[in-house]
Chain A
């Protein structure tokens, strides 16, 4: 058995990652108001020895058009730091990672919150830094529009510097462009030293910030080649910041649909796809393309030429690339992205899925994966009971936790 094993995160998302998951007959439709549902999911993931559960976040609705929004389950849910704090008391080993924005928080407050989560959980907390790209969020924080991409990253760099300084307790007193902080942090240090830093931005600015500050990077890639190119690019930037290749774990998203036979798995996927209303699919696609009037173009025609976005640059490029490569119409593209938001989808038997994960892991394209079940709890249960044992049998994944903290699970050094 080789020494190197993959890392697995469970990407939590109420009813499931598929846009129509909530309509699936077995999906837990009240997930967004049911804490017991989340406790059950986290314990399932912990029993399967996942490294962490992960919550993404936005401080606002996902969709501006209320008629579209009302056909999805995405307008309500838990605020993730409170959700994970509750899970901290109800789990023992699994890591707890939450997104929080550098756009709409202050570094002192955010550093306190995650240090507290780290203490509550005995050293299992992580912060996923995002800069927030949605004008809907901006409208909840007094802004008249989204800040330009480069400004958001400038603020994020300063924010990350202040937060890590507060956690590490060396720095005291910061007076910068966007923030000023006088005192040391008033939350006691945790068993982990500092919460794990996670990032997902894949633009040039995003990759540089990750190379400088992140312990874990989430990414989206359709093909092994794309995933490997991203992996090599990001790891290639580490030396400039005095860091080693193993200091960052790259975990691309994967949306598996698993069943005993390939045909059965495909049938499960097709049934979900049938539940997507066209206007919901097109609206979701529009948000990833950062444009508002995609519905004006013929739905069975090609994607129009688009200006470069101030929103999610890397995701826009990924969508356009996919459309051109496969010659997809707007409708086909919308359906494709409604399933996993641009993340890699694998449909098949436990052995076929394990083969695919193994190929990317051993092919130098990933240190592990952020698993995105299509609906909860069914597809998580299927992955935990069918795919995880197959990975363990191949020696690719742990059979038990080696340590107690999230840094232990990920094999990360304690911060200096």
Chain B
């Protein structure tokens, strides 16, 4: 069983946000307990404020943690694919291979209005655009072969020109030449987490995602969606275990209600969604985490990268 913690760092109106020290302390305790990854989401649907933007926070957290996976939400409306691919590739090198990108397929109603699209963006356009965006990012992460960097001072050969590849993408919404000016990821490619899936997104996610997060309200609903996703994963020619499905548990829970979620099988793990509230974090560490330990199966020598923790294969071709 895999465990993730989603931390929404956007504070409710009138409340103070968490400090970096508080967040780092929490993440280190989750790391010590063997949690696979912490997912930072920072963009609320309603006006609110956070001390930090998720990817910058992740870079700082990477330097004060050693093994836990670090995932940030970043929207396809608020970024350009080249910039986003580059940011996450860079974070993956900083963290020695522990980074994931949580790509949400749900539109945040505030984003279009703040990112120069005052008329908004039609839902069908948003989905086609998001799929194209995710495809570009995955392609850019494949721009450098594993043995591309030579570092040969005497011969003056820094890299092998044959092992660097242009993307040359020309699509409906974007054209991107590439390659990325960041070296290949230590885990071949950062982990692609997808969330906020509508039923129509499931086939795309089955082909592209490494991790899918479900936010169905009950174990029964989550199991039905999970089974459907795993079927689709096989349909596109991937092994069912190539995509890890995590069911999200809504923040208010008692430890004993977790038994329902543990008992139902199908998904690969649970994701605990926590608000930016120090008492909720303490409650999780003191009351829930000890209970989870019985479900934690990862051995300490399972490998250093987030892909290793999740039992995912290499992220790149070539």
**A interface with B by C-beta (< 8 Å):** 22-25, 27, 29-30, 32-33, 35, 39, 58-62, 66-67, 69-73, 75-79, 81-83, 85-86, 88-90, 104-106, 108-109, 112-113, 115-117, 119-120, 136, 139-142, 175, 178-188, 275, 277
- CA–CA, A275 to B153, complex, Å? 10
Among B56, B154, B157, B160, contact of A85 (Cβ-Cβ < 8 Å): B56
Does chain A have a CB within 8 A of B115?
yes
- Known A70-B160, A180-B116; contact A59-B57, beta-carbon cutoff 8 A: no
- CA–CA, A90 to B61, complex, Å? 10
Does chain A have a CB within 8 A of B257?
no
Does chain A have a CB within 8 A of B176?
yes
- CA–CA, A66 to B157, complex, Å? 12
- CA–CA, A83 to B86, complex, Å? 12
In chain B between 156 and 214, which residues have their CB closer than 8 angstroms to a CB of chain A?
156-161, 164, 174-179, 181-183
Among B115, B117, B153, B182, contact of A29 (Cβ-Cβ < 8 Å): B153
A88 and B60: CB pair below 8 A?
yes
B181 and A61: CB pair below 8 A?
yes
List 15 A-B residue pairs with CB atoms under 8 Å apart, sorted by A's residue number.
Answer: A24-B153, A25-B153, A66-B164, A70-B161, A70-B164, A79-B89, A82-B55, A85-B56, A89-B59, A104-B83, A120-B60, A178-B116, A181-B114, A182-B118, A184-B47
- Which of B74-82, B226-234, B297-305 lines the interface with chain A? B74-82
Q: Which of B52, B55, B78, B115 has most chain A Cβ within 10 Å? A: B52
B161 and A86: CB pair below 8 A?
no
List A contacts of B94 (CB < 8 A): 35, 78, 82-83, 86
- Known A33-B93, A141-B176, A142-B174; contact A76-B50, beta-carbon cutoff 8 A: no
A112 and B53: CB pair below 8 A?
yes
List A contacts of B117 (CB < 8 A): 180
Does chain A have a CB within 8 A of B318?
no
- CA–CA, A140 to B167, complex, Å? 10
- Known A35-B94, A104-B83; contact A142-B156, beta-carbon cutoff 8 A: no
> What sequence of 0s and 1s flags, for each residue 133-150 of chain B, a beta carbon within 8 Å of any chain A beta carbon?
000000000001000010
- Known A82-B55, A106-B115, A120-B60; contact A76-B176, beta-carbon cutoff 8 A: no
- Known A108-B114, A182-B113; contact A85-B183, beta-carbon cutoff 8 A: no
Q: Which of B10, B58, B161 has most chain A Cβ within 10 Å? A: B161
Among B63, B114, B115, B181, contact of A89 (Cβ-Cβ < 8 Å): B63
- CA–CA, A75 to B159, complex, Å? 9
List B contacts of A76 (CB < 8 A): 144, 149, 159, 181-183
Q: Separation in Å of the B269 CB from the closest CB of chain A?
A: 27
Among B24, B90, B149, B176, contact of A142 (Cβ-Cβ < 8 Å): B176
A77 and B182: CB pair below 8 A?
yes
